[in-house]
Chain A
Amino acid sequence: MSLHLEPIRVATGSGDEEGRLVLMQDRLVAVLVRLSEQHGPDAGRWFLEAGLGPLAGPDQPSFAGLDEAQDWILRRLDGLHP
């Protein structure tokens, strides 16, 4: 199982615009957004702006990099289909 990332601008209503659509094959599973300078020490981290299906819910972590974000997403998706 692998993920595919596509750059996208995200209308978060804040300075956080740079995003990635996270696709598994041709299905959207999540949207990641890079946190802007307005987030101080968290600037540059990748935030799980939206999760679809099994990634939906109140748990919205942020990650140091895109690799870490993808690992987390894959683990979550794997966990449901061991």
Chain B
Amino acid sequence: MASASNAELAPLIRKLESIATLSDEARQAVHALPMAVRVVEPRQDLARDKDKPAHCCVLLTGWAYRYKLLDEGRRQILSFHVPGDIPDLQSLHLHVMDHSLATVTQCRVGLIPHEGLRALCLRFPDAAFALWRDTLIDAAIFREWMIGIGRRNAHSRIAHIFCEMYVKLQAVGLAENHRCAWPVTQTDLGDALGLSNVHVNRVLQDLRAQGLIGPQDRDLVILDWDALSALGEFDETYLHLERRAAA
């Protein structure tokens, strides 16, 4: 276990400042949050359904996902998370996990005790408002996913999630020039978007053949942003970004 450096906390600060305004004092208080840093290997649970965590996890590096396990090993992925996100922030107020949280890649995770976050919110209302705003945007993202699963076809769902993750990564300074890491597998995509692995594979090959994305598996290269965002009916309003990190 170790402490997080200021550099490691940069995505969290960028994330909060991309959606809200923080005073200098609040920013310093976020830097000073009590935090134990752990390295967690890929595909490991950070929190499990029914757990009662005493801390929240901030992603310092790597990707994670929320999921729910159903009968017969069926899995619904509920969201993907990137550095700067606090995917179990709700555990501060909702004491029992109603889903699980796991790593996609190896992650450096900062564990912030609940009492540290509570103290931050009580002393710095602008920090509390930023976290509140983050949970509201989290709900806005769920609304978009619901539209996708309920009303968009396979091409549109996949195009939409590519646009969404790219914009989220760009907001924390981890993507530019329409390129970013893409550690999510085809099975993950299918479980997130309610598609079979076969359909995901067909759509990815079609998007590549149409010249919308590059041929890479582990990196997302968006070759035609306008066409991809039109296909996904992607309108970033729901991400409520006030400021983008300097690319």
Contacts and interface: CB of A to CB of B under 8 A. Distances in A.
Same complex for A and B? Answer yes
Contacts of B199: 60
Contacts of B116: none
Interface string A38-53: 1100100001000000
Contacts of A58: 194
A39 B196 contact: no
Interface in B176-204: 194, 196-199, 201-202
Nearest to B198: A47
Specify the main secondary structure of chain B where it touches its partner. Answer: helix
A60 B194 CA distance: 11
Contacts of B194: 58
Contacts of A59: 74
B206 interface: yes
A14 B196 contact: no
A39 B196 CA distance: 12
B205 interface: yes
B206 A35 contact: no
A38 B206 contact: no
Nearest to A36: B202
Nearest to A49: B198
A62 B190 CA distance: 14
Of B194, B202, B206, chain A has the most CB atoms within 10 Å of the CB of: B202
B65 to A, nearest CB: 18
B198 A13 contact: no
Contacts of B206: 13-14
Contacts of B74: 59
Interface in B204-228: 205-206
A26 to B, nearest CB: 28
Nearest to A47: B198
A38 B196 contact: no
A47 B200 CA distance: 13
B202 A47 contact: no
B216 to A, nearest CB: 16
A47 B205 contact: no
A62 B206 CA distance: 21
A69 to B, nearest CB: 14
Identify the interface centre among B197, B198, B205: most chain A CB within 10 Å of its CB.
Answer: B198
B202 A12 contact: yes
B197 to A, nearest CB: 8
Given A13-B206, A14-B206, A47 B201 contact: no
11 contacts: A13-B206, A14-B202, A14-B206, A16-B198, A38-B202, A38-B205, A42-B197, A59-B74, A60-B196, A60-B198, A62-B198
Given A13-B206, A14-B202, A39-B198, 7 more contacts: A13-B202, A16-B198, A38-B202, A42-B198, A59-B74, A60-B198, A62-B198
Closest 4 CB pairs of A and B: A60-B196, A14-B202, A47-B198, A38-B205
